[in-house]
Chain A
Amino acid sequence: MTKRRMFLRMITASLLRRRSRMLIALLSIGIGATILAGLVTIYVDVPRQMGAQFRSYGANMLLLPREGAVLNSESLSEALRQIPADQLVGAAPYRYVRLDMTTRQQSFTAAGTDFTQIVKTSPYFSVEGAYPAETRQVLVGKAIADTIGVKPGSTMELTYQPVSGAADKTPEESRVPGARLSGKVEGFGGGMVYVSAVLDDEARLLSVTVDASTQTPEYGGRVPEDEAFLRQFTGKSLPLTLGGGIDALTGATVTSSAVVDALNSATETAAAARPRTMNFTVTGILTTGGEEEGYVFLSLPDMEAMTGTDQLDVAELSVSAGADRLEAYAGAVSENCENVQARLVKRVARSEASVLEKLTALVFLVTLVVLLLTMICVSTTMMAVVSERRREIGLRKALGASDSSIRAEFLGEGLFLGLLGGVMGAVLGFVFAQVVSVNVFGSSITFQPLLLPAAVIVSMAIAAASCLLPIKHAVAIDPAVVLKGE
């Protein structure tokens, strides 16, 4: 048997056969290592965790249309390509319009959006019921739901009033499809021909009035007074073609054609300008504690059907990146996209950094305190162990143990304890961190393989440092005094 094997046999026997005392030392190292390993794990994981936490307080980047440009699903997805997919948590598009609830003489701000994205960018949204999953479904803000008294399952009729000043019209007027038409088209010689018409309930023309004062008086200028020409239009449905039921006024073909064109284009405009009403089912009531409670949310397809355009006002992005990266992505969007500009939501991005700093300091402080407590605890236990083993130490010295042998044996025991405690700490620390992470941050963490050697080395160092004073006492023991009687 080699000396080294005997050495290991002695220190393991000391630890294994004198369990109760060593268990205390092992526990103090183990618990210390557990707390440290846990803290470090959480700390390493915290930037990610904190990022997720802060993102849950809202988006950290906005995409907006540039001056004179349009933000729609196409230009939005183009802009999103500037952000790495794995860092883009979510991108919620928004289109805001006013919608009327004609049955109650109320009007609200309505937001067209993508509910699958809202869940990611605004995880703090709390919905009673469910998010809309199909078209013709709405999510109603709590404030609105309280005023108009809707619940999940209720239906509501919403009207989009495109013409400015639509609110001034009586509902009666608004509901007549295209009551009045007016349009203008370039006539002969570049002058404008103005046309206005009145339609009946079936959208047939009742009467047509023309202003052709810019046209040559002998030719086109005669059109407004020519009863026969104008009478042709009565009872006709739009669109019309010259020669197809409408004959041009002799000598005024260009002006006549302009009248027909003006009427046709006016119908198109009128069609676009016609108020649209749709029925929706309420799927959920939204509580946010913010202004969103005063909104009605509907799907983008519904919004497009009501407003006739796929335009967006803004997209809220949640990006999992630090302040520097975030700025770089915003820069890339502004540089590479002609329709879209990016803006950072500064407040959140900044507080994320400052909270992290404070957390670093806190973790550092707690680590220091835990290290100190562990050392005191292990040192005290080892002191007790030394005084408990005075006779044994005296005996070993009497048998010829040198001071360095005694030192090596105690240090060996300490390091062995540190090894066991470190392994225990790494495993339990990970469990501890996992529990904290799941309970506090609501997400799980991955095991850092480096944690094991790090925990073992640190706890062995702590154990060794804690043994210094006890070893000094052990070495000072006088074999003669210890062995003499007692």
Chain B
Amino acid sequence: MSLLELKNVSKIYGDLKALDNVSLHVDQGEWVAIMGPSGSGKSTMMNIIGCMDKPTSGEVLLDGVDISRESSKKLTDIRRDKIGLIFQQFHMVNYLTAVENVMVSQYYHSMPDEKEALEALGRVGLRERARHLPSQLSGGEQQRVCVARALINHPELILADEPTGNLDEANENIVLDLFAQLHKEGTTLIVVTHDPEVADAAQRTIVLEHGKVAREVINENFGK
């Protein structure tokens, strides 16, 4: 079953085509990696899928809804209800503790629940560091908090833009293991990465070049 479908999506800045007539299809529960050189339009695409930006032309169907035509208020609702975001620069509210940062996501989604938030932190191995401020956490720990925050509301789709770009090997593996778990639970994952290892963990890799889909690679070894 298709969760996401891009039909001839273009994003044009002046005379620069950040996305050029991209068509793409992601099934429910699929784990997709997106690769491509810098400036190829990966983040642009993620922003559009993540309901933070609109394409210049084309259709983007998320759960059958064309999000390219929605008002920004409606987009906020969709993003909140369906999407979990993970960024390369592990953005956190710097004056809130780890658990509070997770609870912020709950707060906007439904109801803050400290117990549940602590459990989510436990899942990323940070149960003990829940009361620490971001400045007291390492980069890897911060990114794991962001992962916990992204999964707390059980989104259908997790969008990660270079989640391991600033992580060491050990933290990268922790994050990838979490993705694998989420994938098993049925969450759809789209992960932008420069790292072939991270891409290899996914079922399918889409390569962008100059705003176009250059090729798609199915990972034969997935799950092995």
Best-surrounded residue of A13, A391, A479 (most CB of chain B within 10 A): A479
Whether B52 and A480, one on each chain, are in contact in the complex, defined by CB atoms closer than 8 angstroms, is yes
Best-surrounded residue of A17, A396, A398 (most CB of chain B within 10 A): A398
A13 to B99, CA, bound (A): 13
With A1-B112, A403-B73: A396-B93 Cβ-Cβ less than 8 Å: yes
With A1-B114, A10-B104, A480-B47: A400-B89 Cβ-Cβ less than 8 Å: no
With A10-B104, A391-B91, A480-B52: A402-B76 Cβ-Cβ less than 8 Å: yes
Whether A400 and B109, one on each chain, are in contact in the complex, defined by CB atoms closer than 8 angstroms, is yes
With A13-B95, A396-B93, A486-B89: A405-B112 Cβ-Cβ less than 8 Å: no
Residue of B nearest to A398 (CB): B85
By secondary structure, the A interface counts as helix
- Minimum C-beta distance from B101 to chain A (A): 9
Partner among B79, B100, B149 whose Cβ is within 8 Å of the Cβ of A9: B100
Whether B76 and A400, one on each chain, are in contact in the complex, defined by CB atoms closer than 8 angstroms, is yes
- Minimum C-beta distance from A387 to chain B (A): 15
Whether B93 and A6, one on each chain, are in contact in the complex, defined by CB atoms closer than 8 angstroms, is no
User: In this assembly, does A358 line the interface, its C-beta being within 8 Å of a C-beta of chain B?
Assistant: no
A391 to B87, CA, bound (A): 12
User: In this assembly, does B96 line the interface, its C-beta being within 8 Å of a C-beta of chain A?
Assistant: yes
User: In this assembly, does A392 line the interface, its C-beta being within 8 Å of a C-beta of chain B?
Assistant: yes
Number of interface residues of B (CB under 8 A): 35
Size category of the A interface is 20 to 34
In order of increasing CB-CB distance, the 10 nearest A-B pairs are: A400-B80, A17-B95, A480-B52, A400-B108, A6-B112, A480-B47, A395-B91, A1-B112, A480-B53, A6-B107
User: In this assembly, does B50 line the interface, its C-beta being within 8 Å of a C-beta of chain A?
Assistant: yes
9 contacts between A and B (CB under 8 A): A7-B107, A9-B100, A10-B100, A396-B104, A398-B50, A402-B73, A402-B76, A483-B52, A485-B43
User: In this assembly, does B105 line the interface, its C-beta being within 8 Å of a C-beta of chain A?
Assistant: yes
User: In this assembly, does B94 line the interface, its C-beta being within 8 Å of a C-beta of chain A?
Assistant: yes
Please list the residues of chain A having a beta carbon within 8 angstroms of any beta carbon in chain B. 1-3, 5-7, 9-10, 13-14, 17-18, 391-392, 394-403, 405, 478-480, 483-486
A394 to B89, CA, bound (A): 13
With A13-B95, A18-B95, A480-B47: A399-B108 Cβ-Cβ less than 8 Å: yes
- Which B residues are CB-close (under 8 A) to A486? 89
Whether B100 and A3, one on each chain, are in contact in the complex, defined by CB atoms closer than 8 angstroms, is no
A9 to B131, CA, bound (A): 14
Whether B73 and A399, one on each chain, are in contact in the complex, defined by CB atoms closer than 8 angstroms, is no
Whether A1 and B104, one on each chain, are in contact in the complex, defined by CB atoms closer than 8 angstroms, is no
Best-surrounded residue of A3, A9, A400 (most CB of chain B within 10 A): A400
Residue of A nearest to B43 (CB): A484
- Which B residues are CB-close (under 8 A) to A394? 91
Whether B87 and A483, one on each chain, are in contact in the complex, defined by CB atoms closer than 8 angstroms, is yes
Residue of B nearest to A482 (CB): B91
User: In this assembly, does B148 line the interface, its C-beta being within 8 Å of a C-beta of chain A?
Assistant: no
- Minimum C-beta distance from A390 to chain B (A): 11
Whether B76 and A392, one on each chain, are in contact in the complex, defined by CB atoms closer than 8 angstroms, is no
